[in-house]
Amino acid sequence: MLILAIDTSAVASAALVTDVVVPSAAGQPAAEQTTPVPRVLAGFVTEDTRSHAEVLAPGIRGILDDAAIEPSTLDAIVAGVGPGPFTGLRSGIVTARTLGFAWNVPLHGMMSLDAVARRVAVGESTGAGDFLVAIDARRKEVYWAGYRRTNLLPELVDGPHVGPAADLPLLPVYGAGAGLYADVVDAVDGYAATQPEAAPLGELALIRLASGAQLQDTTPLYLRESDAKVPGPRKRASGRARA
């Protein structure tokens, strides 16, 4: 399986993810003799959170060239659907929809906070337990969700939500949102700058698709109303115009 993953919920990122099949334990049924192990072929991540539209398309073209991949060989495109700011999130989703249509490739959506949760599930060697992922939502708030770590995979158990960091449940918190509000949450060292990125999102998508799971569509998770408002009708001036 070969997946192009795209996420612009915070930074702009894209990655090509494939699977390396390894033998499972002896004695399992023939249909379960292999287990997919995701491998990132190529990817890019920006540090700028405000230039998504400018860098995304050239970045995708670059990773396809670097990996010598033709779009026709893709099995799926996966887009992070947020939560995230309106403009940045829209850039990634619209790009994914356009490429899926132009290349005739199946398109799926995944909650962007799952990308950070995947990093935690793989990177933390102690225990399973419950934890939170939080990223900056601006306005002195965070986007957050609750997870349970089981067998190196994150399971969503709560959210996503948006609100003040001080209102989060009393659990370890991973991600850039925790780094911003380490004075009021149980921020975990080493993850204070971690943002959702395409590579771990693609890894998790590949595992889920290989297991036969259904992913969501690409409806964005804005969680807030847009700041931009359609202006109301203009009032007509009273009185007659003078000649």
CA distance 57 to 39: 22
Q: What is the pTM of this model?
A: 0.86
The pLDDT value given to residue 60: 96
Note the pLDDT tens digit of each residue in 48-63.
Answer: 656 667 789 999 999 9
> Is the peptide bond preceding residue 71 cis, with omega within 30 degrees of 0?
no
**Strands, DSSP E only, in 24-140?**
34-45, 76-80, 107-110, 130-138
pLDDT at 26 over 90: no
Q: What is the pLDDT of residues 160-207, one digit of tens each?
A: 999 999 999 999 999 999 999 999 999 999 999 999 999 999 999 999
Q: Residue 208: helix, strand or coil by DSSP?
A: helix
Give the span between the Cα atoms of 80 and 6, in whole angstroms.
6
Q: What is the pLDDT of residues 61-120, one digit of tens each?
A: 999 999 999 999 999 999 999 999 888 899 999 999 999 999 999 999 999 999 999 999
